[in-house]
A and B are shown apart, each in its own frame.
Chain A
Amino acid sequence: AQSVTQPDIHITVSEGASLELRCNYSYGATPYLFWYVQSPGQGLQLLLKYFSGDTLVQGIKGFEAEFKRSQSSFNLRKPSVHWSDAAEYFCAVLTGGGNKLTFGTGTQLKVEL
């Protein structure tokens, strides 16, 4: 079954430092991949998505992600983290014949001032 794995449960970075959150997918064909962010008590907001084409995808809030087929990865990056980026981040893959999203377990990001 198609799935995504987020190996890091918690990550702590200093404000201004760079960030990379890992996501590995399991899928036979080219997957449709997403990154969502969830702030405490809030719903999920889409950061970016990859369907095809350019493997470096730009998103909102200064985030980007790179699709690497050889590594089955879709890691999320940000050059300089802001304190407001502290949240939980979820990677997801489109499954069920394109009808639903399957999410990873999430990575909780803490930003130290």
Chain B
Amino acid sequence: DTGVSQDPRHKITKRGQNVTFRCDPISEHNRLYWYRQTLGQGPEFLTYFQNEAQLEKSRLLSDRFSAERPKGSFSTLEIQRTEQGDSAMYLCASRRDRQTGELFFGEGSRLTVL
């Protein structure tokens, strides 16, 4: 069990650029989640996958955001035309499908938009 890994850990970009984050879940976990966390707030749900199917998206996930999990293993979260308000920590988490509740989190990818 190598844990959930996220890459990159830090990303600084200029407004209007596109960024992509990658998440590798724990290998036997078929559910994968993306959360966003801003300073002073708890993590906010963005979206989740069961295998390769994206089953739910939050209203927080604007059209500039897209997440994929093409082979049911790793996932990517892309933000197009970044805005300063996108600056946040993007957290990935995973769990087994039939496991109740508990999520295993990665260390996050911190985005700073200048």
- Residue numbers of A with Cβ under 8 A of B are 9, 32, 34, 36, 41-46, 49, 51, 90, 92, 94, 96, 98-106
Nearest-neighbour CB distance to chain B for A55, whole angstroms, equals 17
* Contact (Cβ within 8 A) B103 A99: no
User: What is the predominant secondary structure among interface residues of chain B facing chain A?
Assistant: loop
Nearest B residue to A50, CB-CB: B101
Total A-B pairs, Cβ < 8 A: 59
A94 touches B101 (CB 8 A): yes
For chain B residues 73-114, which have a beta carbon within 8 Å of chain A?
91, 93, 100-108
A106 and B56 contacting across the interface, CB-CB below 8 Å: no
| Contact A106 B33, CB 8 Å, known A51-B100, A100-B48 | no
From B4, B40, B101, B108, give the contact of A101 (CB < 8 A): B101
Q: Are A43 and B33 within 8 A (Cβ)?
A: no
Partner of A43, one of B40, B44, B108: B108
A44 and B43 in contact, given A96-B56, A99-B55 (Cβ under 8 angstroms): yes
**A100–B47 CA distance with the chains assembled, in angstroms:** 9
Per the bound structure, the CA–CA distance linking A94 and B95 in Å amounts to 13
